[in-house]
Homo-oligomer: A and B are copies of this chain.
Amino acid sequence: MNGAESLLKTLVNNGVTTCFTNPGTSEMQFVAAVDRVDGMRCVLCLFEGVASGAADGYSRMSDNPPATLLHLGPGLANGLANLHNAMRAGVPIINIVGDHATSHKQYDAPLASDVAAYAKPVSAWIKETARADEISADTLEAIEAARQPPGQISTMIIPADCSWNQTSVISREKAARPVRPKVSDEAVRNVSNALRKKEPAVILMGGQALLEEGGKLASALSNHTNARVFSATFTARITRGAGRTNIERLPYFPEAVIRTLTGVRHLVVVGAKPPVGFFAYPNLPSYLVPEDCRVHCLAEAGEDAVDALARVIDELDAGSVSPTILPLKKPALPVGELTPETISLSVAALMPENAIIAEESISSGAGLIPATATAQPHDWLFTTGGAIGQGSPNAVGAALACPDRKVICLQADGSGMYTLQALWTQARESLNVTTIIFANRKYRILDIEYERVGAGSPGPKARAMLAIDNPEIDWVKLATGLGVMACRVTTLAQLNRQLAIYIAEPGPNLIEVIF
């Protein structure tokens, strides 16, 4: 057994059975070991940002963390933007980054770099393996660190000789599964006391609290106290739709957050942080909680939010209060023009039961969340860290984690161009993904932000930098060039018809919506 086999066996023994790969020479022993060690599914990606974004999507939808296989510092660097998103999502990922052989490092060969320095901004745990005999123990540590609630990124740096050298060492023990710590009685009491007053209150949730159980507890609490329940604006995953409970989404722009929170006296955060502006703007505050609103933290991101919500309900003697379960109430198929709103209604009407929505629709998506509130039950994956190019890779990962579910990827065109290589992996793995490209041919969000930062009215050069219509991008060619069936629609009737067809088919497929 060489080091690579020891690594691979330890991963598989601990339930890490999917690896998103973009290997090079330093990772060839790992690649070779995959044929000798059962149980690892390797998913080839043509660019590392696809691998890391797919790992993020997989991790959001799976109980087991995925791995990535990346090629030295620059390979890791290409994956960093989506690792930043995964870090903000709070999900576990184990990066396996090959490096030059230990004895080779002193020579500063062209690809040599400080891999740990690249890893630092996104990783909670980083270790360079010293020798093949230590690779298994290091892997256990990496898995355990990744599992630290809510989920973290571990980066293993594996010099090539640690992979090719022989070892007999393999850890028999399993990596620990750290449990979420319970919140303190004091936190429960404080929040209970605040909500008991029945003053205007908001419960702002993130992370684990936004899955089915947390949603039901929060809804019961809301019914008992009149507190409104919101999700953080950018969060890893919400379980929603018919059969679930109503969770509003906190808006994006600071003015809207301020309006939403005006008059609120208590903000209870549950696995979320008090809201701040995504960006700062001249003459607007960054911290968006009203001055006379008290913030009460019920649970930090890594704490047991579900248990905490249940204990607040107990403390308030509200155990008999039911949550409000939403009925299935799909909108009718829309008629009229193609607009972000009518596209949202079309998606809401046609979304199949149990779909996973990987959404990076940026400015085009404003209407999606309200339109789908009572659609078929589904999971929604949001962008999290603001690094664009997340949607299509997330869809790859989600589809691999949940092969029995339809994934619908709602993808803006500008951000979709960062990681369009994801389509190839969708085709290669026959993933059940239907992508809608919102082809407004603009960085539309920047049109909006341009004015908001006080830059006035864009001149011709500025306008040219906000538009991506010269030349026009043909997503049908891009998708079919990468092996994904695709079509373009230019009317709402076409969209309604084509989306129904593509959702009924196994995928992958893609609809470019020109509007």
Binding site for B on A (CB under 8 A): 21, 23-26, 28-29, 31-32, 34-36, 42, 44, 46-47, 49, 72-75, 77-78, 80-81, 84-85, 88, 100-101, 103-104, 106-111, 113-114, 117-118, 120-121, 160-161, 164, 234, 273, 276-280, 282, 286-287, 384-387, 389, 414, 417-418, 420-421, 424, 427-428, 445-446, 449-450, 452-456, 458-462, 464-466, 468, 470-478, 480-483
Q: Which residue of B lies closest to A387 (CB)?
A: B74
Measured CB to CB, the closest approach of chain B to A235, in angstroms, equals 10
Contact of A477 among B104, B384, B481 (CB under 8 A): B481
Nearest-Cβ distance from residue A397 to partner chain B, whole angstroms: 18
Given contacts A47-B417, A234-B110, A480-B474, contact A446 B25 (CB under 8 A): yes
Is A459 a contact partner of B427 (Cβ separation < 8 A)? no
* A140 vs chain B, min Cβ distance (A): 24
Task: Evaluate contact between A42 and B465: CB separation under 8 angstroms.
Answer: yes
- Give CA–CA (A285, B224) in the complex, Å: 73
Say how far A116's CB is from chain B's closest CB, in angstroms: 10
Q: Could you list 6 A-B pairs, sorted by A, with CB under 8 Å?
A: A109-B277, A110-B384, A118-B121, A428-B471, A478-B478, A478-B482
CA distance A36 to B461 in the complex (A): 10
CA distance A384 to B110 in the complex (A): 7
Given the complex, which residues of B lie within 8 Å of A234, measured CB to CB? 110
CA distance A109 to B483 in the complex (A): 38
Partner of A113, one of B49, B78, B84, B287: B84
A83 to B449, CA, bound (A): 28
In-complex Cβ contact of A461 among B42, B88, B282 (8 A): B42
The 5 closest A-B pairs by CB, nearest first: A35-B459, A471-B483, A477-B481, A74-B387, A104-B280
Interface centre among A72, A107, A110, A482 (most CB of B within 10 A): A110
17 new A-B pairs (CB below 8 Å) besides A25-B449, A35-B459?
A24-B446, A25-B279, A31-B455, A32-B455, A34-B462, A36-B459, A42-B465, A46-B414, A77-B84, A78-B389, A101-B279, A106-B286, A110-B386, A111-B385, A161-B280, A417-B424, A428-B471
Distance between A443 CB and nearest chain B CB, rounded to angstroms: 8
Q: A74-B386, A278-B110, A462-B31 are in contact. Are A453 and B121 (CB under 8 A)?
A: no
CA distance A108 to B460 in the complex (A): 34
Contacts known (A80-B77, A385-B111); A104 close to B454, Cβ less than 8 A: no
The answer to whether B77 and A160 touch across the interface, beta carbons within 8 angstroms, is no
C-alpha spacing A46/B24, complex, angstroms: 26
What are the residues of chain B within 8 A of A88 when measuring CB–CB? 110
Partner of A46, one of B446, B454, B468: B468
> With A and B bound together, what is the CA distance between A462 and B277 in angstroms?
46
A473 CB contacts on chain B under 8 angstroms: 424, 481-483
Whether A458 contacts B427 by the Cβ 8 Å rule is no
Please give the distance in Å from A283's CB to the nearest CB on chain B. Answer: 10
- Is the Cβ of A73 less than 8 Å from the Cβ of B121? yes
**Residues in B neighbouring A47, C-beta threshold 8 A:** 389, 417-418
Q: Do A279 and B483 have beta carbons less than 8 Å apart?
A: no
Cα distance A468–B277 when bound, in Å? 43
